Structure 1
Amino acid sequence: MDTPDRDIPDTGQIVTLTFHRFDGLRARLWAFAMMGLARPAMARVPGIGFWKLCGSGTGVGFTPRPNLGVYAILATWPDADTARAALTGGGILGRYRSMASESWTVLLRPLSSRGAWSGKAPFQPQADAGEGTALAALTRATIRPSVLARFWGRVPDISGVIGSNTSTMFKIGIGEVPWLHQVTFSIWPDTASMAAFARTGPHAEAIRAVRAENWFSEELYARFAIHSDMGSWNCVSPLAPNPSCLASEPL
């Protein structure tokens, strides 16, 4: 399924986040191996800019226990047409699609970004999406080894709040390196619901601890407008008005 672009132009940088679900031992072993072996092929994908291969965590937010059945690929592209051509073509991205039992890609327009990812500023913010528009939030951090226990001690409370929040349209925790490099990604129906979560409860307490105790050696916070999506997750698009067969968490 390809959700309409909601009058968002096709020019300017597009960020894609693709989730692949792998069933069966063979497919899961292949996906795990590709975390290292796919890198040369990824670098040769036409039009690709910044990219990252990520595993995922179990639960409704993220946890230190990996989910060996779900992997993600984040990439930047010069425009939506280039992104779609690469995502629906062959090569390594086509191989991922053929090995996966289900795939879903959300195309994103960067609205704001601060911080760095692997020493780079990968996203190019553009015009605001306006009130009442679905938004995505991405947080990426490199956790200092000395505070790992304190950081992961906070995670269950934050994940539980995300999971019980009925405003969240989609949420998942992914990462490049287990325990040390973590990414949270969530989709919200509007700015107000996103802000309400960020400013209250365990999440707000964790943010204060990050600042006071210097938990992260590198961090990035980005906000995106939803451009469109392709494929399905748990048999539907998470952006659908009534995703009746969407599971409570990515499995």
Structure 2
Amino acid sequence: MQTVSISFFRFPPGLSRLWALGMMGAARLALPHVPGIGFWRLCGSGTGEGFTPIPNTAVYAILATWPDLETAQTQTQNASIFRRYQAKACESWTVFLAPVSARGQWAGEAPFTPEGSAPKGPLAALTRATVRPLKALRFWKRVPDISTVIGSDRNVAFKIGIGELPLLHQITFSIWPNSQSMADFARANGPHARAIQAVREGDWFREELYARFRVLGDHGTWHGQSPLSNLNIKT
């Protein structure tokens, strides 16, 4: 069963942040040589919870696919490139996921291999979009309102905005206690729903990908604890 890992790293002020910024280029040389790794991406984040166009020099992420959960757990903890990130970071957290649905493409690829049905319990959602340059300003005007709404939703266990290229290549990732709570947020008549309608009517995105995942587990902490601590995760 394909396993997807997303590793988040928080770096203290100073040279560690300069190192992390430099690794957005240098890590591209090391990641292809990690045993078992498939599709991978290096990502930065925005300020706050990541849902802004202003870069956050403290938080970076690595997304990767693996042939199974055991390989994902072993390599994200023991592979040299991941250990280097962990050594420099003041905090790190990796979540392991199994794709249950996916549509669209990521840089011309379909990186996720869905298997099984959506779980009754915790569910993760990932969206990735390439924003058309002439539409970027309109897109980012919508984002603060969406961030406020999702941030105030008590159901969401974790949420962050990350991206490969500032302003144009954007990823949102969130974890919910169940599919119903996620669907209720998506369908509610608010800034999120209005933004989706504007995207469709204005053709803002050149490429889109939407994926849902079963949450398999994690290691590490974020803000001092596991974001999954209040969820009933059954592997």
TM-score after normalising by structure 2 = 0.96
User: Taking every aligned residue pair, what percent have the same amino acid on both sides?
Assistant: 60
1:187 is matched with 175
Query: Alignment partner of 1:38: what SS?
Result: helix
Query: Alignment partner of 1:123: what SS?
Result: coil
Compute the RMSD of aligned alpha carbons.
1.0
Q: 5+ residue gaps in structure 1?
A: 1-11, 243-251
Aligned ranges 1:41-52 → 2 under 5 Å: 41-52=30-41
| Counterpart check, 1:156 vs 2:144 | yes
1:71 is matched with 60
Alignment partners' CA distance in 2, 1:219 and 1:110: 17
8 Å CA contact 2:50–2:162 kept in 1: the answer is no
Equivalent of residue 221 in structure 1, options 210, 214, 221:
210
Tell me the CA shift for residue 60 of structure 1.
3.4
Alignment partners' CA distance in 2, 1:111 and 1:79: 14
Q: 5+ residue gaps in structure 2?
A: none
1:199 is matched with 187
8 Å CA contact 2:34–2:79 kept in 1: the answer is no
Tell me the CA shift for residue 149 of structure 1.
1.0
Alignment partners' CA distance in 2, 1:55 and 1:110: 23
Alignment partners' CA distance in 1, 2:59 and 2:67: 27
CA deviations over 1:134-165 (Å, ceiling 9, x no partner): 00000100000011111011011100101111
Tell me the CA shift for residue 129 of structure 1.
3.8
| Counterpart check, 1:80 vs 2:56 | no
TM-score after normalising by structure 1 = 0.90
8 Å CA contact 1:140–1:181 kept in 2: the answer is yes
| Counterpart check, 1:91 vs 2:74 | no
Aligned ranges 1:51-70 → 2 under 5 Å: 51-60=40-49, 62-70=51-59
2:99 is matched with 110
| Counterpart check, 1:122 vs 2:121 | no
Alignment partners' CA distance in 2, 1:49 and 1:72: 16
After the TM superposition, which parts of structure 1 deviate over 3 Å for at least 4 consecutive aligned residues?
none
